[in-house]
Amino acid sequence: MNESTGKESTGNEHTADSVTVDEIDADIQVDATGLFCPEPVMLLHNRFRDMQAGDTLLMTATDPSTTRDVPKFCLFLGHELLARDEQGGTYRYLLRKH
């Protein structure tokens, strides 16, 4: 159980507990608000294609399925999910390309 979120850990999260979404100025920002699965992850694929290793990206989304899809995107493609948060139905994800 993650004490900060009160949610069960799936073991698939690639997050650094000491980093928050607001602590790092992302190199790229992606606004996926109003988009639904699979569009937010498609945007990630398109943007990551043009990024350099080590670049960071902040994605903002409103689709709750991103809470599952973004960590899986990182897990399967070897990128790092540095931090994530949710406030008022808006989800933010800070990722680093590897």
**Catalytic residue numbers, as ranges:** 37
Neighbours of 13 (CB within 10 A): 15
Based on its alpha-carbon atoms, the radius of gyration of the chain, rounded to whole angstroms, reads: 12
DSSP string spanning 36-55? -TTHHHHHHHHHHHTPPTT-
